[in-house]
Amino acid sequence: MSALITNEWLKLAKKKTTGFLFLFLVVATFGVTLLMKLAKVTMTAPQSFAQLSGMSSFLNLVIVILTASIVAEEFTKGTIKFLLIRPFSRSQILLSKWITCILYALFGTFILWMSSFLASYLFLKNGSFTTGLTEFGGWNAIEVSLLYGATNLLMLVFYSSVTLFISAVIRSQSLAVGLGIGVLFGSSMMNVLLFTLMEKQNWLRWNPFNLLNIREAIPDFIQMLQGNKAWTSASTNYLVNYWQMGLGLLLFSTVIYLITNWLFAKRDVALS
């Protein structure tokens, strides 16, 4: 199994697209932070770093593109046949690809964390990264940034599972990438459509698009951990709290992955 994961990691690492996407993530993080300085935005370095310079969504885009290509490209290039004749089951092959995507998500999160730290420190008004932030219940920028990174990883597990499902069903790599990006950016529009319905139909609060608002529930989550009962819960807007969102995303991710595994095991590759 480790050999499969290593193989998948190296295949992605050798692609020029992979290096370009991560490089662009770094450049974009520095660029956005510099624009904030030029626009004289009233935000200190710790405040920007705490929220990873607002670039988490761009990292998600990078991982969606990589995930969309990891299976669909095998069918596009016809290399899936050579992969399946190796002494591994289809379930092992698919799992190795999914694990590789999550490892790249971890790698990308670290790159974003470091880039945001350096960009915020260099371009914005300096402040202590270890001083408590009022808006985050006294947590310092480093603690909040780690929570934002971990929370975004939960979202990436879901996005990777959905995109892997699309890749396993569709043979076209470009179409898989397009649909994956559509799911990523279409969630905000779906939230607007479902918000009114959620107030009337309470069960709709468990729809995955609502659960993807988990980053917005972070301040509420911190205040809850601090035992601040006077805090006005932001989670009331979504009818679920941080823990429920996180568990819901993991459950949806598991179900989608199991369906993908079943489809991949039944997939006919004769025409690939």
Which pLDDT score, from 0 to 100, does residue 236 have?
A: 57
Which pLDDT score, from 0 to 100, does residue 172 have?
A: 65
Contact 65, 177 (CB under 8 A): yes
Residue 136 domain-assigned (yes or no): yes
Reduced 3-state DSSP string for 196-258: HHHHHCHHHHHCHHHHHHHHHHHHHHHHHHCCCCCCCCHHHHCCCCHHHHHHHHHHHHHHHHH
- Alpha helix positions (H), the chain: 2-13, 16-38, 45-50, 56-77, 80-84, 90-123, 141-169, 173-200, 208-211, 218-225, 242-266
Contact 154, 246 (CB under 8 A): yes
Q: Which domain holds residue 98?
A: 2-266
Which pLDDT score, from 0 to 100, does residue 235 have?
A: 53
**Residue 188 CB neighbours (<10 A):** 12
Which pLDDT score, from 0 to 100, does residue 148 have?
A: 96
Contact 159, 67 (CB under 8 A): yes
Q: How many domains does the chain have?
A: 1
Beta-ladder partners of 44: 125
Q: Which residues of 64-80 are buried (b: 16+ CB within 10 A; e: fewer)?
A: bbbbbbbbbbbbbeeeb
Residue 272 domain-assigned (yes or no): no
Contacts of 14 (CB under 8 A, 6+ apart): none
Which pLDDT score, from 0 to 100, does residue 173 have?
A: 67
Which pLDDT score, from 0 to 100, does residue 230 have?
A: 47
Residue 271 domain-assigned (yes or no): no
Residue 105 domain-assigned (yes or no): yes
Q: What is the pLDDT along the chain (272 residues), one digit of tens a residue?
A: 788 888 888 888 888 889 999 999 999 999 999 998 888 778 889 999 999 988 999 999 999 989 888 877 777 776 767 776 777 788 888 899 999 999 999 999 999 999 999 999 999 877 889 888 888 888 999 999 999 999 999 999 999 999 888 888 776 667 777 777 777 777 767 766 777 777 777 777 888 888 888 998 888 888 778 766 544 455 556 778 888 899 999 999 999 999 998 988 776 665 55
**132: helix, strand or coil:** strand
Please report, for residues 203, 227, 235, the alpha-carbon distance to residue 197 in angstroms, rounded to integers and kept in the order given. 10, 31, 17
As a whole number of angstroms, the distance between CA 177 and CA 167 comes to: 8
